[in-house]
Amino acid sequence: MFYCKICGYNFEQPSAVYENHGFLSPPYEKLYVCPNCKSDCISERFFSHCRCCGARLTTEDSEYCSEACKIRGERLRRLEEKRRRRFSESPLNMLVREVEEYNLKNNTNYSYGQYVAIILPKLKTGKKKCTKKRKHI
């Protein structure tokens, strides 16, 4: 949505006017003007919308169109935060982060499956050195 700063006219799309500056061939200058008064003093009007239902708001200082939308929006926000927290704290996600940290630290490119099958058992048991001396027969 656009509006003219001169005449105050509201319109969806500005009109295009080509100014040739006395030249007979292109390139011409393309100007966007008000369809009502042909002034180039136009500006785009931005509207804010309700965060819950998407309705256009009359005032720009609020985020919701009604108290019901505010209650519903806050409830949805809390549920989303809870879902994100559960996701980030899940054992699988923690293991995936562990794989990424291991790859960065050791300059490797192990996949999740390779890490679980090869590297994780070594990390859990640790590399134990044999302390018993072998007898040669």
Domain assignment present for residue 34? The answer is yes
3-state secondary structure of 123: helix
Largest CA distance in the chain: 107
Query: By residue range, what is the domain housing residue 103?
Result: 93-123
Q: Tell me whether residue 134 is in a domain.
A: no
State pLDDT tens for residues 69-112.
999 999 999 999 999 999 888 888 888 999 999 999 999 999 98
User: Average pLDDT in the 27-38 region?
Assistant: 86
Q: How many CB atoms lie within 10 A of CB 75?
A: 11
**For 34-79, what is each residue's pLDDT tens digit?**
888 888 888 887 778 888 888 888 776 788 888 999 999 999 999 9
Give the gyration radius of the chain's Cα atoms.
33
Q: Is 43 left (phi over 0), alpha (psi -120 to 50) or beta?
A: beta
Distance CA 44, CA 36 (A): 16
Its pTM stands at 0.45
130 vs 66 pLDDT, higher one: 66
Inside any domain, residue 78: no
Name the domain count of the chain.
2
Would 75 be classed as within a structural domain?
Answer: no
Tokens of 27: 């390139």
